[in-house]
Amino acid sequence: MTNPAEPLDRLRRRTSEKWGAHPSDVLPMFVAEMDYPLAPAIAAALHEAVDLGDTGYVNPRDVRAAEAFADFARDAWGWSPDPARMGIATDVSVVIVETLRRLAAPGDGVIITPPVYPPFFDLVPEAGARVVEVPLRDDGTAYSLDLAGIDRALGAGARGVLLCNPHNPLGLVHSGEQLAELSRIVARHDGFVVSDEIHAPLTHPGVDFTPYLSVSDAAREHGVAAESGSKAFNLAGLKAAFIVAESERMTELVRRLPEEVTFRTGHFGLMATRAGFADARDWLAGTVAAIVENVELLEAQLAEKLPGVRVRRPAASYLAWIDLSALGWGDDPAEYVLERARVALSNGPDFGREGRGFARMNLACAPELVVEAVDRMAALDRS
């Protein structure tokens, strides 16, 4: 059963970035927030906490959220991370920065694979390291990691890889075979991998997600994973994520993180995360089903109304990477669409040079919004 999105008039009462950044005549389909109601199990857990006045500091000795995630990972992906080897932090970006600070010396190169989540371009220098771009390979049909390019970059002095798995903005789920080969390459260069797996719980039916730390002993030795329920359950504002290690070396890194990295984590965030992974799996399945229906709807709408536009079906999450270059709307078509059609998409060039001519659309919404967005864009193409 799919989950229905909230009515538009109710959504416009929200004050988060998605609904507060633009005037009411704009359809907001940019930042990665979902329009679905909060999972009932999560809402109940938060209401109970408010009723109790349980609004104090996070308790790092309470491992129930980590255990709930580990149980979910075992059931969904056949991977059983040890809660005793996990740390907590405010969000995946903090996990990335704090681990990179300890794995890369100042000025070291860290590989990213554009087009990729825009903050990656900033998180690497925030950690004191240097961005090394190895763009994804695109054979015209599918994207994939450029393993030979990563090998060359590591051979030229880069120290590690900041992996996006599944890959934002493409919804690309890297294969276990590619990840295993990546682990061999990184091990050969004595490097490291920090794997951002925030979109993994939103993998679509029939697709196998492979956690990086599950692919080999080498991956477990040199890898750290950043995990969270924030995208799966729409909890970004509650601030909670996991730093997951499997080797003694990386577990020691987690244990040596500053105390404040732990204590800045949101108490409500961990409560909501535990409730989500433990008690809201049916809600998550319904949400993914609704997203897949919207992906199919977008494909049909574009084929009918904007046949020159290309979108490759994502295998995870609710983000569609749309090639609008054939329409002649410039390197940043999202800017044109916002100004002329009043539809807010994510700007393609923010994801790297490879994003010129592209835009990212958020499909975690009512089907009617997908239709309206395409109608508005199609009207531009006819004008």
Structure confidence by residue, pLDDT tens digits, 224-240:
999 999 999 999 999 99
- State the pLDDT confidence band at 383, using cuts at 50, 70 and 90: low
* The two structure tokens encoding residue 287: 């949400």
Could you tell me the fold of the domain covering 8-31+281-382? Aspartate Aminotransferase, domain 1 (3.90.1150)
Tell me the domain boundaries of the chain.
Answer: 8-31+281-382, 43-279
Alpha-carbon gap, residue 324 to 310, rounded angstroms: 7
Alpha-carbon gap, residue 252 to 246, rounded angstroms: 10
Predicted confidence (pLDDT) per residue in 46-60, tens digit: 999 999 999 999 999
- State the pLDDT confidence band at 208, using cuts at 50, 70 and 90: very high
CATH number of 43-279: 3.40.640.10
Predicted confidence (pLDDT) per residue in 325-375, tens digit: 999 999 999 999 999 999 999 999 999 999 999 999 999 999 999 999 999
Secondary structure class of 245 (helix, strand, coil): coil
Q: What is the pLDDT of residue 28?
A: 98
Q: What is the pLDDT of residue 3?
A: 82
First to last CA, the chain: 40
Predicted confidence (pLDDT) per residue in 1-20, tens digit: 788 999 999 999 999 999 99
* The two structure tokens encoding residue 115: 């087009």
The mean of the pLDDT values for the chain is: 97
Note whether 273 and 68 are within 8 A (CB): yes
Alpha-carbon gap, residue 367 to 315, rounded angstroms: 19
In the chain, what percentage of residues exceed pLDDT 90?
98
Note whether 225 and 96 are within 8 A (CB): no
Residues linked to residue 203 through DSSP beta bridges, in sequence order:
316
**pLDDT higher than threshold 90 for residue 297:** yes
Q: Average the pLDDT over 9-33 and give the result.
A: 96
Alpha-carbon gap, residue 11 to 8, rounded angstroms: 5
- State the pLDDT confidence band at 140, using cuts at 50, 70 and 90: confident
